Structure 1
Amino acid sequence: MIDILVAGGGYVGLSLAVALKHAAPHLQVELVDGAPATAWQRDERASALVAAATNLLQVLGVWEQIAPEAEPIRRMVITDSRTSDPVRPVFLTFEGAGTADDAPFAHMVPNRAVTGSLLSAAERLGVPIHWATSAVDFTTGPHATEVRLSSGETVNARLLVACDGVRSKLRDIAGIKTVRWEYGQSGIVTMVEHERPHEGTAEEHFLPAGPFATLPMTGNRSSLVWTERTEDAERLIASDDLLFEEELERRFGHKLGALKVVGGRRAFPLGLTLARAFVAPRFALAGDAAHGIHPISGQGLNLGFKDVAALAETIVEADRLGQDIGSLAVLERYETWRRFDTFRMGVTTDVLTRLFSNDVTPIRVLRDVGLGIVDRLPGLKSYFIRQAEGLSGHNQPRLLMGQPI
């Protein structure tokens, strides 16, 4: 019997396994994932890592490997306009460093860099990873969970952690219900090169169909998260390169010179999913399996890292006290730690999505006035930056504060 089986080899599953072995090397932690061992190498996406997530990765000893490919976000510009408008007025700007030590409040990093560094750490710490193998069913007993794998084998673990994505099958097997709805939008993700440097500036243009975000990458490159109505997104993904780049330029503008798409383009349906519970006896949810939110705030991945920090600390401290790490009493501490923050972020992104993904004139006027007010209040802007970097509030998990467990 092992101590912990992590189902899912993405950011959340890998970082949880590494965090547990880093803090408690004696724990037997294994990981299974249904994807092939090299699937992560084909991921062309990039993600925004806020300061709290960077702290976690630094403690785990992987940030140094990621840093050469990380681009700091030094300025955030927010506009609100129609695609056809000749001028895009700027309503809100966040400039400078967000953290007390003058570090940027976020970095953009290629997904491959993060995954590769975590895999190296997992190998260094001796975490067995079983690729092309998924957890397909489980039965919970008084002292262990018997997990059936797609290979036909079974594994007995004191705790099973599901990090298997927003449509988690393990969550369904556990009988955990969700609150879920779709927005009728899809997020188009791609990478572009431009003639002029972005100077670390990220921009979020609120357009009638949804936000169009340009995020700085190393060199003269930007990662795009382009929200459109689902039917329009599907049409754009299926279009030829000329039409796609023409539609992209209408939204991106010409301030950085000529554009060239340098990565593949994919579209992902957008919705809100919140698990009604995060735990059951000998079972816990983390990452997208517990919550899937709209990318309007750029916080989805960072919520997953918060889960990792809280769950790892809960498990390790319980183990040090000689408690049963799979007991409901222990796991409920993790749920209590994370439920409110997750619910708050889900509600916030839902309200922002509905508020900014429309072209109703009275609503546009009200939201633009609100953005202008925030822009003129330095104290309020500092509060929002602190929220964005993931370091606000009391009783934060140690890893997020840059402290070992």
Structure 2
Amino acid sequence: MAEIIQTEVAIVGGGLAGLTLGIALARHGVDTLLIDREDPARVLNAGFDGRVSAIALASQRMLAAIGLWRHVSEAQPMWDIRVSDGDSPLFVHYDHKALGQDPFGWLVENRVMRVAQQAALAELPRARLLAPMGVVAVERGEPGSGAPARLTLSNGTEVRARLLVGADGRQSFMRQQAGIKVLEWSYAQTGIVCTVCHQLPHHGVAQERFLPAGPFAILPMTDDAEGRHRSSLVWTEPTERARAIMALDGDDFVAEMQQRFGEHFGALSVFGPRWSYPLTFMHAEHYIDHRLALVGDAAHGIHPIAGQGLNLGLRDVAALVEAVVTARRVGLDLGQQDVLESYENWRRVDTAVLSAVTDGLTRLFSNDIAPVKLARDLGLGLVERLKPAKTFFMRHAMGDVGKLPKLLQGQAI
């Protein structure tokens, strides 16, 4: 006879957003089951994911509040941000000291974050991870019936939960099963990602250079065990050109990279493998359905131009946890419509605005049209000189604008 698992919340997807959500719910006493297709050992392999994620100050507060941040073994503070447009002399320089002593955020390797998540998860008796495991059927019942949702897993196990969460990425099975439509398109660009060792230190400065082919981001990382200075490169090119660059041998790849870096980091070398990822836009028509909420890339996917993709997902986590925990304390059904609507209303405007801004910036800066270039260069110069505008953008980089859920303020719910 197949096993039946009863839980309050079942999360489908054990990526960075999904696992953080599971940890946060379990920390607040919610029985939580996580289901993920990937083998937990595989996702910790150095070759699984070469990306580095920016963790904004507000996001870090949440990770600390749920007991996750203390397991993060390596994190590079981001003290300054420098934004420039090609070879233009005009640029924007964000200095953390203009707002206080805290950095804008931290740069953390995705692998390091996954190690920390699994360590935090192991401390929580109310959280359980089933992996590798797939979902083959979903039954969410009729609205108003009071019946729990049901999942059938690939091993025949049945899961019964008051709330299902789709945290299963841009091709989300849970979103598709609910029939939620999406707005999506391709940028016809590919992001090339690798770790670069450089002769001179980065001093914790994150650099975003806008080139005609697309953004060229140099994100500071911690020095390695041998003291080598490292940065993560996110190099955007049109897809066909990116394929050609990825096919270059080591010396030719470094030569292409050096042309775009310039000389201010000294001699460069690539440390480890290279990865490439197609760059697309996706936004779900709704974040909720009956007994279902979407978080992270299952709800929205943006261009990495501003490094805010994971932070958007973590803001989803903070808002959903607050909605669920608050409802649970007053005895409400966690999957009822008004509980889920409070989550969607909290998140939708913020996400839509940032999605539109990143899409607009991508289109504005990924070209070399002279009048457009002049206008954007003047815009960078204007932001650099207008203190109120510059302060707003710096606070936004910290994730410290708008009505923040308690976790993003570093408070327990």
TM-score, normalised on structure 2?
0.93
Q: Deviation above 6 Å: which 4+ runs of structure 1?
A: none
What per-residue deviation string (whole Å, max 9, x for no partner) do you get for residues 96-141 of structure 1? 34654x1101111111221111111111012211111022320112
Residue 93 (str. 1) matches residue 106 (str. 2): no
2:24 to 19, 41, 49: 19
Tell me the distance in 2 between the aligned counterparts of 1:79 and 1:37. 39
1:98–1:386 contact (8 Å) kept in structure 2: no
- Partner residue in 2 for 1:259: 268
SS at 2:231 equivalent: strand
- Partner residue in 2 for 1:239: 248
What per-residue deviation string (whole Å, max 9, x for no partner) do you get for residues 303-353 of structure 1? 000000000110000000100001112111100000000100110011000
Tell me the distance in 1 between the aligned counterparts of 2:371 and 2:394. 28
1:98–1:389 contact (8 Å) kept in structure 2: no
1:99–1:105 contact (8 Å) kept in structure 2: no
Stretch moving more, 233-242 or 332-341: 233-242
2:71–2:119 contact (8 Å) kept in structure 1: no
1:212 to 188, 210, 216: 216
Tell me the distance in 1 between the aligned counterparts of 2:98 and 2:27. 28
Q: Partner amino acid for 1:274?
A: H
Residue 57 (str. 1) matches residue 53 (str. 2): no
Q: Partner amino acid for 1:112?
A: R
- Partner residue in 2 for 1:338: 347
Residue 147 (str. 1) matches residue 151 (str. 2): yes
1:77–1:90 contact (8 Å) kept in structure 2: no
What per-residue deviation string (whole Å, max 9, x for no partner) do you get for residues 248-283 of structure 1? 111111211111100211111111100000001111
Tell me the distance in 1 between the aligned counterparts of 2:316 and 2:83. 29
Map 1:312-351 → 2, pairs under 5 A: 312-351=321-360
Q: Partner amino acid for 1:21?
A: A
Q: Partner amino acid for 1:402?
A: G
- Partner residue in 1 for 2:36: 33
What per-residue deviation string (whole Å, max 9, x for no partner) do you get for residues 124-168 of structure 1? 012211111022320112321111212232211111101000111
Distance 1:98 1:131, change over 3 A: farther
Residue 128 (str. 1) matches residue 128 (str. 2): yes
Map 1:359-370 → 2, pairs under 5 A: 359-370=368-379
2:198 to 194, 200, 221: 194
- Partner residue in 1 for 2:226: none
Q: Partner amino acid for 2:242?
A: A
**1:233 CA drift (Å):** 1.1
Q: Partner amino acid for 1:198?
A: H
SS at 1:79 equivalent: strand
- Partner residue in 2 for 1:306: 315
Distance 1:353 1:299, change over 3 A: same
Map 1:265-276 → 2, pairs under 5 A: 265-276=274-285
2:55–2:311 contact (8 Å) kept in structure 1: yes
Q: Partner amino acid for 2:9?
A: I
**1:238 CA drift (Å):** 2.2
Tell me the distance in 2 between the aligned counterparts of 1:45 and 1:199. 20
Unaligned runs of 5+ in 1: 82-86
- Partner residue in 1 for 2:400: 391
1:136–1:170 contact (8 Å) kept in structure 2: no
**1:90 CA drift (Å):** 4.3
1:98–1:104 contact (8 Å) kept in structure 2: no
- Partner residue in 2 for 1:77: 82
- Partner residue in 2 for 1:374: 383
Unaligned runs of 5+ in 2: 1-5, 224-228
1:73–1:107 contact (8 Å) kept in structure 2: yes
2:88–2:377 contact (8 Å) kept in structure 1: no
Tell me the distance in 1 between the aligned counterparts of 2:36 and 2:379. 45
> Aligned residues, how many?
395
2:25–2:31 contact (8 Å) kept in structure 1: no
2:71–2:120 contact (8 Å) kept in structure 1: no
Q: Partner amino acid for 2:132?
A: A
Tell me the distance in 2 between the aligned counterparts of 1:135 and 1:176. 18
- Partner residue in 2 for 1:105: 104
Tell me the distance in 1 between the aligned counterparts of 2:190 and 2:156. 36
Residue 181 (str. 1) matches residue 185 (str. 2): yes
Tell me the distance in 2 between the aligned counterparts of 1:231 and 1:380. 37
2:410 to 383, 397, 402: 402
**Identical amino acids, percent of aligned pairs:** 44
Root-mean-square deviation (CA, aligned residues, Å) is 1.2
TM-score, normalised on structure 1?
0.95
